[in-house]
Every structure is written in C-alpha cells, then in structure tokens.
A and B are shown apart, each in its own frame.
Chain A
C-alpha cells in the first residue's frame, strides 16, 4: 500500500446530528405559522369532543372510528367496512391536493402544516420559553451540568412529555368515546390496549419532536425527496435574490456600500432556520420553506433601511429573468400542470360526492352454497341453498321481503328457528341480518341458470337486487 501524501483527508461516512438552536423571529410568515399551529392543534385536540346525536344505540361522537363495530363516523356521514373505498378516495384527493398546492406554492405542507413541523415548532417554543433564546440555549446545553441546567432541562422535558401524552391521548380519542375515555383516565380504569397505544405514541412524539426534529425531514420523509417532481419553473419557492444580494459583505456605517450587494452577511437567515441550512446557497433538500429566513432578513433590512424581500417567495423563471436583467413578469398560477391537478381533483371529488349522495340505506349480499352445489330431492326437483345477508344501514329495526325472479315453479324457504316469513324478515338497526334460504324447482339437466333475488324494505319500499345462479346437473 503506497503512501499518499498531502491531499488525502479522512472522510467521515457518518455525520453526527448537529444540534440546532433556531433563533426567535417575528414577521409575516411567523404569524402565519402561529395561526396554522393554533388551528391545527385546536382541531386535533378538540374535535373528538364534538357530539352528534345519531339515535339511541349509536355512538354520539361526531368524528369516530369505531373499530369494534366496524364503522367510521364523520358528523352525518356513516361508512361501513364495505364502503372502505371512500377512504381510498379521500387519500387520492389528499395526495392530488398536496401535489396541486405544492406545484403552486412550493412546500407549504412542509413549512406550515406537517405534524412534524407543527410539533417540532411547539417543542422549540417550549424550549425557548424555559431555556431562553438561541445563544442562551446553546450555552446551557454545551456547558457543564449545573443546578440551573438540571432544573431547566427537567422542566423542558417534563413539559415535552406532557404535550406528547396529550397528543397521544388525543389520537386514541378518535377511536373511542372521548368523554368516557378521559374520565376513565382520571379514575385509573383505562384498558391495557389504550395504555399501550398512548404509551407508544407518547414516546414517538417525544422522540420525533424533541430529538429527531429536522432529521425526519432530511433523512426519513420521502416527500422531501420527490418534491422536485412537483416543482416547475413557476412554483413559488423560498429564494435568496442573488442578483440583489451579491456580492455580500459587512456594511460598515458611514462607509461606501456601492460595490456591495444588499446582503450584509448577518447570518440571521441561518440562525433562525429550523433545519440549519443557509438559504443563500440556493434551494436545498433540507429547506422546508417555512419562510422564517424571509422574516428574519426583512427584519434586518428594515433596520439597515434597505428594501425588504431579499429573501422571499419567488419562482425560478422570474429569478432567471431578473438575473438576465429582463422583466420578470407576473406569477403564472394557471398553467397546464395546475389545470390537470384541478381536473383530477374535481373528477375524483365528484365521483365520491355522487357515491355518498346515492348511498343506499339497504344492501343485500347473496352467497351460494358451495358444498354441495345442489341437492336432488326425492321428487326429482333440484334444490340450491343460499346465505342471504341483509345490510340494514338505517338506525331503526326493519323487516324485509325477499322475492325471486328467473326460475319457473320455484319455491323459496327460509331456514332457521322460530317462524320465519319470507315477506317479513326482521333485521335490527345498524346490523347485518343473515338468513339461510333454500330454493327448489323442477329443472332438467342444464347449465347454471341466472336468477335474481330482490330485497325490499317493507317500510320504505326501497328495493335492491342481487344476481346469483341456480345450479343443477350438467347435461350428460
């Protein structure tokens, strides 16, 4: 192995996380972030407590995913497991909506709405409240363990855990009746399952917002990586106006600034950045477009009496034009990409709306017996057995009648205990009633015959059909 001189250096393949201490900042985007956080957290923590009356035996929580009974409730909307495609539709809408918003305004999700951002922001605010602003925090954390450091860290982490616990608890409230669960907490009668979930989520929230922070955005989240697929030249992104700002340098008071750009190299933009990057290097993967650097820079620009907007939301095409000295022109919000997204959202949205509005209060499923397929009776007639499932999606007990089409001289029997009448099959509210029926008819050997069973709600007259088959011997 030859000895290499001079130019080789140790390459670290692993970079330890550098702790970031974002500085406090005031400004337009910071205010938007506070409002977004308030609204999001408000909705998240308070919605489970909203009540919605659905009748006697149904839960009265407005937003609830009842895993035991298999129902999803959203105010007046009720979804059965058979209708899970609504969830798929919502996810599609959410995804396309995300792409749409991103193609217009850049990473607004990342900067303002993402739960990782919101909770990290909250935890940093708590940290700042207890431990002070950037320089104080840095000194405290990098310094030795004093009594002051001990109690400050203890209080910070205690508050973090408390917030994480409430967050985890709130999550579970969407799956159980909220007031009941909260009450059971205070009486120490929570179930092990609930405790496990809350424990797990508390730990995850604490870990992600207290420690992992920007590492999630940089290394874990796939969205950071494919954002470039959603941007185009007309997407608004956080931009440092190089043309205006360079060459940067310290502006001394009273000196001549004509050879310098507007950037005074105060590094305020770096200090407030929650992911710890320098936006003056251009758009980077780590930049979550929270706009805090724009606020910080604007603040400084005001103080040195230069125009604001050195760091601002702008588009690539406009920056190119500015760099070439041309007129940047207006922002193009309406372009093919955004039109496509709007179209897809409209189509998917309308399909879902249509499905929701035409949702039937009753449904029927017919399962043909598989073993045996058919039975020959002593009279020579052929009998087929079916299991009929009647879905009563209303909140009242109903009776239903069942009728048959497509088979001549057929007789339909309902099997079961008690006196069952084919024209008055009872099904309780919000449940599935299962009935076994036999259909027998004289039929010569032939291919399976298509028949239709019609279910009718005796009270409303609403009917639903289901096609099935009547099977007999094959012709020899």
Chain B
C-alpha cells in the first residue's frame, strides 16, 4: 500500500510530488497552467451572467425564465416576420398580378417557381414524388398528359378544390363504373374491351380495322360517354386519354383489366383551407411550368438543326394570336362534349 502524505520535492524538476507511491512510481503535482485557470474563471463568471439573463435552470413547471425574456419560439416568430417582410417586395405585386402577367415578368416568375418548388416539396411530394414524377396512381406532373386540364386556371382549380374530396362542392368529381365488380360486363366482354383499348393506344397491333373488333361496340356503349368516341379522353370527367403513351394505373394487360374490372378513382386533397392563396398560386405556376403545362405560349420552339443544314430561326408566337386561338378551341371542345352528352 502507499504511504500517504509523504510529499517530496523532485530533484530534477523542482516540483512537488503528490505524496503517493505506486510500486515505486511517484507522480509530479504540477500546477494547472495559469492561462487555463484564467479562462476557466472567466467562463464561470460568464455562466453566472447567463443564468440570470437567459432561461437556464429547470424548476417544477418549466425553467427559470431569465431577465431577457428570450425564448426560441420568439426567435422563430421574429425570423418568420423577417422573411415575410423580405417577401413583401414580391408579394405586393404577385398578389395583384394575373397568371399571364406573372408568366411574363421575370422577377415574379422566379418568385413563383421558387416558392412553388418549396411548397411542393412540403405538401405535394408525398404523393406526386420529389421531382413530381408520380408513380402508379399518382400523376406525373412533368408530362403533358392531364386528366382534368393542364392550363394554369385548371391546375389552380384542382389545387383549390382537390379531386373527389368529400364535402367540397367544387371538387373534381366523377365515378368510373366497376364493370366487373358490379357485374355490368361479363369477363370475356371485359377482355374484349381490354384488347380494344390496347389496340387503340397502339400497344398491340390488330389485324384489320379497329372498328371490326368486338370490343369496339362495347366501348361505344359503355366507355365513349366519358372517354370519348375515339377514346381520346374527357376532361370534364377526368377520363384519361386512352390513345396516348401515358398509363396512370399501368399499361399492361393485367393493369388495364384491373382498371376496367374494379374501376379507378384517384383522390387529391383540397388545398384551399390548408394553404394560403399566394402559395396555391405559386404552386399552380410551378406545376404548369414543369414542362407539360398547356397554353404555354411563352415558349418559342426551335427544332434542333442537323449539322449539314442551315439554322432555321423560329418566330416567337404572338401572344395575342395565341390567346384567341385557345379560347376558341376551348369553346369548341365544350360544344363538342355537350353534343356527345345529348346523343347519350
């Protein structure tokens, strides 16, 4: 065992030993460095100041509040106000501008797409994917295929009122019959429809004309009212265009059979009461500008020239011309659809 309190001065260094000895080994008791001690003392003094001024000690029911009244909630609120003030510069004009004006203004456009991107990641990405690419049953917002319309007003309407939202009177609403489950069609009839749809979209090649297929007659009776006589979709019903390359619920025979048999009814929340108006407008613009937005007359298309040919300069579209054209088309479409409805 050690001999306690036998402190000695070590000859070599002039420093006192601790007084203990372990198997012949002794330890020098050097003092703590002076600079270190001073830093320590200053930290202690500082901490006393901190205890008084800032929230620090836990007490039943919370903690000591501190004379400064600082809380992290307050700091958060202050920084949010600061952000709001910084955005005022854009929001002032953004609130009053129409969609068309925003698309033409560089600053507002940037503000809208940046804000939309941020809001998208928080609210929409859970279903539509972080890059808006969707998945089975959740539309890819990058493409130019739209169930309910792809112009900004239509997108805005979809955002505000959602799709098949219970309790929202302006929600997008339609119901595809479950032809198999509800016994409207027999199994072999459904298979004929599936064949027809596959032929319509060009996924499967059929010998002879499409009209001669047995599924054609069934389609005209059961499906054309929503999906259109040519199968090219019905936006009023959110009925997809069956002739294009996009398949929301899958384009394999299995998937299409499942769709016809059990029907599909996608749902989307109504954001009117969840997000403020400015955010929804930003989202509408963001989604529209993802690349598939309709009536986007602001883009000038130029075909990539082959190396040997001369470059051809495309003329930018005249916005005024475009406007009237599209309005006319929209009117025509609604006329067509109402005609079809009358026939049925």
Contacts and interface: CB of A to CB of B under 8 A. Distances in A.
Do chains A and B interact in one complex?
Answer: yes
Interface of A: 1, 4, 8, 10-11, 13, 369-372, 375-380, 383, 385, 401, 403-405, 407, 410-423, 438-439
Contact of A414 (B13, B14, B103, B300): B300
B292 interface: yes
A385 B291 contact: yes
Contacts of A375: 133, 140, 142-143, 291-292
B109 interface: yes
A413 B299 CA distance: 7
B311 interface: yes
A317 to B, nearest CB: 43
A378 B313 contact: no
21 contacts: A8-B11, A10-B12, A376-B140, A376-B246, A378-B145, A380-B245, A403-B311, A404-B304, A405-B307, A407-B304, A410-B303, A411-B303, A412-B302, A412-B304, A414-B299, A414-B300, A416-B298, A417-B103, A417-B109, A419-B298, A421-B300
Interface string B95-110: 0000000111110111
Contacts of B313: 421, 423
Given A380-B244, A407-B304, A421-B300, 20 more contacts: A8-B11, A370-B131, A371-B131, A375-B133, A375-B142, A375-B291, A377-B143, A377-B145, A377-B245, A378-B246, A379-B244, A383-B143, A403-B311, A405-B304, A411-B304, A415-B289, A419-B298, A419-B316, A422-B300, A422-B314
B60 interface: no
A420 B299 contact: yes
Residue from B14, B244, B300 with most neighbouring chain A CB atoms (10 Å): B300
B109 A416 contact: yes
B142 A378 contact: no
B245 A376 contact: yes
B49 to A, nearest CB: 23
A378 B302 CA distance: 20
Contacts of A404: 304
B3 to A, nearest CB: 12
B300 A378 contact: no
Nearest to A8: B11
A410 B301 CA distance: 11
B262 to A, nearest CB: 25
A378 B103 contact: no
Contacts of A376: 140, 143, 245-246
B144 interface: yes
Given A375-B140, A375-B291, A379-B244, A411 B103 contact: no
B101 to A, nearest CB: 10
A383 B104 CA distance: 24
A11 B13 contact: yes
B13 A378 contact: no
B305 A403 contact: yes
Contacts of B307: 405
B99 to A, nearest CB: 12
Residue from A4, A8, A418 with most neighbouring chain B CB atoms (10 Å): A418
Given A375-B291, A403-B311, A412-B304, A13 B13 contact: yes
A410 B246 contact: no
**Can you list the 6 inter-chain pairs with the closest CB atoms, starting with the nearest?**
A371-B131, A417-B109, A378-B244, A380-B245, A372-B133, A404-B304
B130 interface: yes
Contacts of B106: 416-418
Contacts of A377: 143-145, 245-246, 292
A11 B132 CA distance: 75
Contacts of A416: 106, 109, 298
B291 A410 contact: no
A378 B313 CA distance: 27
Residue from B13, B143, B304, B305 with most neighbouring chain A CB atoms (10 Å): B304
A440 B298 CA distance: 18
Contacts of A439: 304
Contacts, number: 114
A239 to B, nearest CB: 38
Contacts of A10: 12-14
A403 to B, nearest CB: 6
A370 B130 CA distance: 11
Nearest to B297: A419
Given A376-B245, A404-B304, A421 B109 contact: no
Interface in B300-330: 300-305, 307, 311, 313-314, 316
A439 to B, nearest CB: 8
Contacts of B110: 417
Interface in B214-254: 241, 244-246
Nearest to B21: A1
A249 to B, nearest CB: 38
A108 B292 CA distance: 69
A370 B133 CA distance: 11
Contacts of B301: 411, 413
Interface string B247-280: 0000000000000000000000000000000000
Residue from B302, B303, B311 with most neighbouring chain A CB atoms (10 Å): B302
B131 A372 contact: yes
Nearest to B107: A417
Residue from B102, B129, B144, B291 with most neighbouring chain A CB atoms (10 Å): B291
Residue from B8, B12, B241 with most neighbouring chain A CB atoms (10 Å): B12
A403 B133 contact: no
A4 B130 CA distance: 79
Contacts of A414: 299-300
A415 B286 CA distance: 12
Contacts of A371: 130-131, 133
B291 A417 contact: no
B104 A418 contact: yes
Contacts of A438: 291
Contacts of A403: 304-305, 311
Contacts of A369: 131
Given A372-B131, A414-B299, A421 B8 contact: no
B185 to A, nearest CB: 27
B11 to A, nearest CB: 6
A401 B313 CA distance: 11
B47 to A, nearest CB: 25
B131 A417 contact: no
B304 A417 contact: no
Residue from B140, B142, B316 with most neighbouring chain A CB atoms (10 Å): B142
A417 B105 contact: yes
Contacts of B11: 1, 4, 8
A1 B131 CA distance: 78
Contacts of B302: 411-413, 421-423
A368 to B, nearest CB: 13
A383 B300 contact: no
Contacts of A8: 11-12
Contacts of A385: 291
A371 B140 CA distance: 12
Contacts of A419: 298, 300, 316
Contacts of B104: 417-418
